[in-house]
Amino acid sequence: MTDIYSMTGYASMRGAVRDSLAFTLSMKSVNHRFLDLHLRLPSFCDGLEVQMRRMLKESLRRGHIEVTLQIERRANVEIQLNEGLLEAYVQAFREAAGTHGVSAEPDLNAMLRIPGVMSTEGVAGAAEIEGLDAAVLSLVVPLVGKLNEGRAQEGASLAAELKASMLRLQAFGEEMAGLRNGVREVQFERLRSRLMELTQGVPVTEERLLAEAAVLAEKSDIEEEIVRLRTHVERFVAMLEEGGELGKRLDFLLQELNREANTMLSKTSGAAGENSLQITELGLEMKAEIEKAREQVQNLE
């Protein structure tokens, strides 16, 4: 059996380039009809993004995938003073003070806050950045594997719930068929009374009554729907046991099951007797079970 993957999952891994540069690569996936990749990388990682997209397309099939790369510099930070710029500001201040006759000296604290006068520069060099691409790419496949481990666990849980849902659905259908057989005699008597009313008391021949009853039985018979429902349920369960990419195919089967449920409700809507309410409730239970299964299937790859 091939694993069944949920489209919801999260995984992260840490790596390093020498001792001076570390990073965290994380991946989150949620439901989506197709493969939708969103990469959040530092601005200097354009080349890395192209390679990562290619690798992810080879490993993933469906889902909205967000990949985030966070860089952590471990190098000591040095304060750089732009002495030339500071000197130019001081000179400009003194010239302006002399021009306007102001006796004042520049405030050094204020001068140091001027953009560009002071800056921080990490010791990490270009060689470490060049090694970053290879270090990150080496974690892409293991990270996808880690993501899929969690997705497979949730997928197995969803598959178990869906199997139980299919068994309940089939039981509802079988119970409805049994109740429907129990109301045939009541319908037959109603048909006899109705024909008597329409013929104003003239006796109705047994042949005429049987003919009308046959037409009524054909219109209200749900045996074909029960057979198709059972077939769809068996196919649904077999696909779950096979595993693999099932989301779209199972959704199609659920559409067929919903069509059978609607037909069964339509055919049994005129049922009479004490079982009529139970038949309607079973039909509604079937539709509710199918809708619940569709919500779960939407989250399968």
User: Distance between CA 282 and CA 180 in Å, rounded?
Assistant: 11
For 254, list phi and psi in degrees, rounded to 5: -65, -30
User: Distance between CA 199 and CA 257 in Å, rounded?
Assistant: 42
Classify burial at 132, counting beta carbons within 10 Å of its beta carbon; exposed 0-12, middle 13-18, buried 19 or more.
buried
* Assigned CATH for 151-297: 1.20.120
Residue 125's pLDDT is 46
Entry pTM: 0.64
Adjacent-strand bridge partners of 94: none
Q: How do 63-73 and 35-40 pair as beta strands?
A: parallel
For 185, list phi and psi in degrees, rounded to 5: -65, -40
- For the chain, residues classed under CATH 1.20.120 are 151-297
Per-residue pLDDT of the chain (301 residues; tens, 9 = 90+): 678 899 999 999 999 887 768 899 999 999 888 899 999 998 888 889 999 999 999 989 888 999 999 988 765 556 678 888 888 888 888 888 888 888 888 888 888 888 888 765 544 444 457 688 889 999 999 999 999 999 999 999 999 999 999 999 989 888 887 776 655 555 556 655 665 655 565 565 666 555 655 555 555 567 788 888 889 999 999 999 988 888 889 999 999 999 988 888 777 665 555 666 777 788 889 999 999 999 999 888 8
User: Distance between CA 191 and CA 204 in Å, rounded?
Assistant: 11
Amino acid symbol at 203: P
* Assigned CATH for 9-75+131-149: 3.30.230
The sign of the torsion formed by the CA atoms of 89, 94, 97, 102 equals positive
User: Distance between CA 60 and CA 84 in Å, rounded?
Assistant: 54
Q: What is the CA 277 to chain-centroid distance, rounded? A: 37
User: Distance between CA 279 and CA 225 in Å, rounded?
Assistant: 14
Supply the DSSP symbol for 204: P
- For the chain, residues classed under CATH 3.30.230 are 9-75+131-149
